[in-house]
Amino acid sequence: MRDWQLKKYWASGTGTVLILAEIALWVVYGSGDIGWLTILGVVLWCLGVVFAWVPIFQFKRQGGVAKGDSYVRTTVLVDTGIYAIVRHPQFVSWPMFSVAVALIVQRWPVSVLAGVSIVLISLDFRKADASNIGKFGDSYREYMERVPGWNPVLGLWRWVRRKTVRPR
């Protein structure tokens, strides 16, 4: 990541460090006593992996990224696949990881770190939208109307409705 990106996205960088601290506490504490919360946390962790990794491959394949360039250097607005569900799947993945670890560990220090990391990561979300509006203009504004930023449940619902409801 270039220096300007580190300065621009300092909050999510700090939130990521807090998630790593959560993971370190997971190693220290182990899993909590409530089994169904642990299972829910593992499921959420797996969803987080999907939301974190799929965009890398999808951008490289569909985003008009020059060969050898970073996957974030898209030249084409991608609004299919996981990007038809949420606008910023990687921003969504970090809170998923954070909540997942809190559910698995079930200790208050981990929950506090999760809450703070989610707030920090959410601060940078609007910056990403503003950057994309600058890059793609009205096409991105229209995309924002169709696809939610953070809510994969709402995004999936809207995606299914778009696929099943035919315009007249």
Q: Which CATH number belongs to the domain containing residue 111 in this structure?
A: 1.20.120
- Residue 150 belongs to some domain of the structure: yes
- Residue 4 belongs to some domain of the structure: no
- Residue 6 belongs to some domain of the structure: no
- Residue 115 belongs to some domain of the structure: yes
- Residue 36 belongs to some domain of the structure: yes
Reported as a single tens digit per residue, the pLDDT across 89-119 is 998 999 999 999 999 999 999 999 999 999 9
Q: What is the pTM of this model?
A: 0.86
Using CA atoms, how far apart are residues 151 and 112, in angstroms rounded to an integer?
Answer: 22
Number of domains in the chain: 1
Question: Cα 48 to chain center, whole Å?
Answer: 7
SS (H, E, C) 55-83: HHHHHHHHCCCCCCCCCCCCCCCCCCHHH
- Residue 60 belongs to some domain of the structure: yes
- Residue 5 belongs to some domain of the structure: no
Quote the radius of gyration of the chain (alpha carbons, Å).
17
Reported as a single tens digit per residue, the pLDDT across 131-145 is 899 999 999 999 999
Using CA atoms, how far apart are residues 110 and 103, in angstroms rounded to an integer?
Answer: 9
Q: How confident is the model at residue 126 (pLDDT cuts 50, 70, 90)?
A: confident
User: Which residues have C-beta within 8 Å of that of residue 136, sequence separation ≥ 6?
Assistant: 77, 143
- Residue 3 belongs to some domain of the structure: no
In 3D space, the residue among 44, 23, 31, 36 whose CA is nearest the CA of residue 113 turns out to be 23
Structural domain of residue 55, as residue ranges?
11-164
Position of tokens 């999936």? 156
Residue 125 pLDDT: 85
Using CA atoms, how far apart are residues 14 and 17, in angstroms rounded to an integer?
Answer: 5
